[in-house]
A and B are shown apart, each in its own frame.
Chain A
Amino acid sequence: MKEKLVLIGNGMAGVRTLEELLLLAPEKYDITVFGAEPYGNYNRILLSPVLASEKTVDEITLNDEQWYIDQNITLHKGKNVTRINRAQRKVITGDDLETGYDRLVIATGSSPYIIPVPGHDLPGVITFRDIADVNAMLDAARQFSNAVVIGGGLLGLEAANGLMKQGMSVTVVHLLDSLMERQLDKPAATLLKTSLEQRGMHFLMEAQTKAILGDNRVKAVQFVDGSELPADLVIMAVGIRPNFELAKSAGLYCEHGIVVDDTMQTYDPRIYSIGECVQHRNKCYGLVAPLFEQAKVAANHLAHIGISRYEGSITSTKLKVTGIDLFSAGEFNETEGDEALVLQDPSQGTYKKLVIKDNKIKGAVLYGDTMDGTWYFQLMRDETDISDFRRTILFAQHDLGDAGHGDEKTRVMSLPDNAEICGCNGVCKGDIVNAISQKGLFTLDDVRAHTKASSSCGSCTGLVEALLAGTVGDGFDATPQKKSMCDCTTHAHDDVRKTLIEHNLKTIPEVMNFLEWKNPDGCNKCRPALNFYLVVAWPDKYADDYRSRFINERAHANIQKDGTYSVVPRIFGGETSAAQLKSLAEIAEKWDVPTVKFTGGQRIDMLGVKKEQLPGIWGDLSNAGFVSGHAYGKALRTVKTCVGSQWCRFGTQDSTSMGIRLEEMTWGSWMPHKVKLAVSGCPRNCAEATIKDLGVVAVDSGWEIHIGGNGGIKVRVTDFLIKVETMDDVLEYTAAFLQLYREQARYLERTAPWVERVGPHYIKEQLVDNTENRKVYAARFHKSQKYSQDDPWKQRAEGEDAHEFTPLKLIKEVA
């Protein structure tokens, strides 16, 4: 028989836990849900747009009743659980319905705090928490004209904005002298107040409520100084309190909330708790992103996987008032020892402040231009050292060499529905917005799975994130997390890699076993990554797992859209000869190659070769002296050169020879992603070395080495590493840089994002400042090359992996 799981609280945190659980263990439990509200699960954070008539209740519904039926979940809506009998393991509702449980999840959320002043219970005094409150407000707006909102925090301002949109005259009363003091510093709060005043909102600051006046219905609000404000509707929005009375009455340990450990378990091991009602490591959360993280952890333990831990969240806030962009995270008021970077442009209504300590971001407040909020938040979470770009950090991420799509959530949101967002998959803005609102998507991964937008080259990721943020508001799970490698594991790339070295794991099954992979086969995401990490860790011992290679690396050729392959022989440094060209021409003719084309990397591409022809054509190429160009691999691709001092009247050094030596040293090496090098013979840089993974530019006195460039998806100009004197120096630095990249970048991370992530100064520290270290890395690269500079084409022409290239035939028919 299935175990019984009961969920008290049909809100976002509780139902998210069920969704996560159903993904992990769909058949494990008989599930019963109790919800006090007479609705299915809806997106509470979108109540503000409902109040502002920008959305309907249907539009913010996450799980309708059919969902519960489809999942075989018993839903008791509109029922309050009043008691938990832990000894007999059952919950009891107000109308004496008893339900037994094996596991219980308490997700009772929070309630608005009501100031206990005289008159607080008069009709017309309400809070802003659920659909009933919104309906009461909409109702009042139709009959009355004066509203007073007590509380100038996030929720109060959103309520005030909604009521104003409904035509009421609204005054916000705030106890302190600055709005949203928990999210904003004074300058930002002043900008916000001015902007809201321009829209017609009134404010009464530093005012303490003494009483609410009225007979049958509220008439006015009275303050401590004796003044009064007329009011037909009073909204109390001064804060929330975790709902833990039920848990407490059942004898569960509570302080400010229900106390849980890192597995979201309460003091009763059969009972879990998540959401706004819990207290975890002395913190209570009232935002959605942490709740979702908690839900994931609780589901993991309910499914008996038991390896996931919640370690607390750093949160960020945005205000959901249309037309006002505001972002805040971390410690935004500087204290002693902190520095504040501030950019203020009053006429444009923008304000940006970053609080910095030891070159790391501690907090951020953005007003007017919040485009870079997610980025600052990521830098803060990752504790990235910002010294490399500190001078420009306030001027937006795209000023740091991101020449992608530029700025503005607002601009993206105001695009027409048929504007193409994802150029790879042809996905328009309307498709994305519809998928987000109709399917209730919250994360970038959700949107990628459902629409394919941003799932290919990723250059539109910023735009898709902007659409997510604009469509779901705070529901957008922008919280950067340590991402797991794939759904087969909860471990992140760097952790897996560290573990396989520390514990001496030498095969993919060993790694999966040790780290308790959920799926013994892994998947098409994790297996190629593991294979690469093992290749780098154990160059002399690891036997490459052919089945974990993407087809291009398995067949050593590039698969084309019609299933044929392309063949690109290596032409060292791009320098060829008449004899070489002649033999290529003869081979292309002999095998009837449909298309022959020059590549961008100074070599020759033969396209349209059938798979079974590959070993034959490779045999001929091998006999003519060619080796594989690895144009198909996460590997060293080309070394592009200009002619240099041998011919060019401007050339300062022999760049072609340098390129050939570099390619001879590096060919055959597997990399986290493709790697392209270039050598230019003078600063005119005809080989375009400054948009390569590693570029060498000759000057009269030696060679400049540049790193981390990219000419593709997002153009990035290289960072200058060092100037050296001799060709041998260039070779040593290149070997060391490539090995550092191989050992430390994540699989499928190109040098450009890697250099940005770790910072160019880190690479200088490792390779320039520390000579010993550089020599060690270079030596490890050369050791690895001993095992990888074995031409894969020659091996296969001689019969290796023959089954890969030979189709089967039907043998005989039997009755």
Chain B
Amino acid sequence: MSNWIEVCALEEIPPMGARVIEQMNCNIALFRTRGDQVFALNDRCPHKGGPLSQGIVFDTRVACPMHDWIIDLASGEACGPDNGCTNTYPVKIENGHVFITLTENATAAA
């Protein structure tokens, strides 16, 4: 089905941190949690488009640096009571390397 694209080594993303992949239309934010889970989301907060990659990461959530919306990294959904969703992308880690596909996850097609 999807084409996996290699992005970087896992250790290039700081734990509880993020890196940005520059893209023509919308940058992709790549997050790494303390437990080495990696998530890829459009680098745009559903609220006012703030760059999520610049936020503080905790658990599997990130706080948008613009107005403090909390976005769930797995679903891309804003945590209540805020409403909104940003696109997520499938990610896999193989031999310490991070791959993503640029087909957006269906669940986040809002």
Contacts and interface: CB of A to CB of B under 8 A. Distances in A.
Interface string A517-560: 00111111001100000000000000000011011101100010
Given A807-B22, A808-B12, A808-B19, A527 B56 contact: yes
B46 interface: no
A808 B19 CA distance: 7
A781 to B, nearest CB: 28
A527 B50 contact: no
A808 B30 CA distance: 9
Contacts of B19: 803, 807-808
B7 interface: yes
27 contacts: A449-B81, A455-B68, A519-B58, A521-B33, A521-B34, A524-B55, A528-B56, A551-B54, A551-B65, A554-B54, A559-B54, A559-B65, A561-B66, A803-B14, A803-B19, A807-B19, A807-B20, A807-B27, A808-B8, A808-B22, A809-B21, A809-B22, A810-B21, A812-B6, A813-B3, A813-B4, A814-B6
A812 B16 contact: no
A808 B98 CA distance: 12
Contacts of B5: 810-814
B17 interface: yes
Contacts of B27: 807
A808 B5 CA distance: 12
A521 B59 contact: yes
B37 to A, nearest CB: 12
B20 A524 contact: no
Contact of B20 (A550, A559, A808): A808
Interface of A: 449-450, 455-456, 519-524, 527-528, 547-548, 550-552, 554-555, 559, 561, 563, 803, 807-815
A550 B56 contact: yes
A555 B54 contact: yes
A382 B81 CA distance: 32
Contact of A811 (B6, B48, B66): B6
Contacts of B3: 813-815
A450 to B, nearest CB: 5
Given A522-B58, A810-B7, A815-B3, A563 B30 contact: no
B65 to A, nearest CB: 4
Contact of B56 (A519, A524, A808, A811): A524
A814 B99 contact: yes
Given A527-B56, A547-B16, A547-B56, A811 B65 contact: no
Contact of A563 (B8, B16, B51, B59): B51
Given A449-B81, A550-B65, A813-B5, A807 B21 contact: yes
B7 A811 contact: yes
Contacts of A803: 12-14, 19
A612 B55 CA distance: 17
A547 B59 CA distance: 13
B58 A521 contact: yes
B57 interface: yes
Contacts of A520: 34
A377 to B, nearest CB: 28
A450 B21 contact: no
B73 interface: no
Contacts of B6: 810-814
B63 interface: yes
Interface of B: 3-8, 12-17, 19-22, 27, 30, 33-34, 48, 50-51, 54-59, 63, 65-68, 70, 81, 99
A634 to B, nearest CB: 14
Contacts of A815: 3-4
Nearest to A801: B14
Nearest to B61: A523
Contacts of B67: 456
A743 to B, nearest CB: 25
Contacts of B12: 803, 808
A530 to B, nearest CB: 12
Contacts of B17: 547
A458 to B, nearest CB: 13
> For B8, B54, B99, which residue has the most chain A Cβ atoms within 10 angstroms?
B54
Contacts of A548: 56
B66 to A, nearest CB: 7
A611 B13 CA distance: 17
Contacts of B7: 808, 810-811
Nearest to B43: A563
Given A811-B8, A812-B5, A813-B5, A519 B59 contact: yes
Given A547-B14, A814-B5, 6 more contacts: A521-B34, A521-B58, A554-B54, A561-B48, A807-B20, A814-B4
Contacts of A449: 81
Nearest to B47: A452
B38 to A, nearest CB: 12
B54 A524 contact: no
Contacts of A807: 19-22, 27
A563 B50 contact: yes
A733 to B, nearest CB: 36
A304 B6 CA distance: 45
A692 B7 CA distance: 49
A811 B21 CA distance: 11
A810 B6 CA distance: 6
Contacts of B57: 521, 547
A558 B63 CA distance: 17
Contacts of A523: 56, 58, 63
A803 to B, nearest CB: 6
Nearest to B3: A813
A559 B70 CA distance: 18
User: Closest 6 interchain pairs by CB?
Assistant: A524-B63, A521-B58, A524-B56, A551-B54, A811-B6, A551-B65
Contacts of B34: 520-521
Contacts of B51: 559, 563
Contacts of A521: 16, 33-34, 57-59
Contacts of B70: 524
Contacts of B66: 559, 561
B81 A450 contact: yes
A811 to B, nearest CB: 4
B55 A551 contact: yes
Contacts of A519: 58-59
A201 B56 CA distance: 60
A555 B17 CA distance: 13
Contacts of B8: 808, 811
Nearest to A549: B56
Contacts of B4: 813-815
A808 B21 contact: yes
A531 B18 CA distance: 19
Nearest to B48: A561
Contact of B68 (A524, A547, A552, A559): A524
Contacts of A450: 81
A524 B56 CA distance: 6
A522 B4 CA distance: 33
Contacts of A455: 68
A96 B70 CA distance: 49
A675 to B, nearest CB: 22
Contacts of A551: 54-56, 65
A223 B16 CA distance: 75
A563 B51 CA distance: 6
A141 B73 CA distance: 58
B51 to A, nearest CB: 4
A550 B21 CA distance: 21
A398 B9 CA distance: 57
B97 to A, nearest CB: 9
A522 B20 CA distance: 23
Contacts of B55: 524, 551
B14 to A, nearest CB: 6
A812 B6 CA distance: 6
A71 to B, nearest CB: 15
A548 B17 CA distance: 10
A524 B58 contact: yes
Contacts of A456: 67
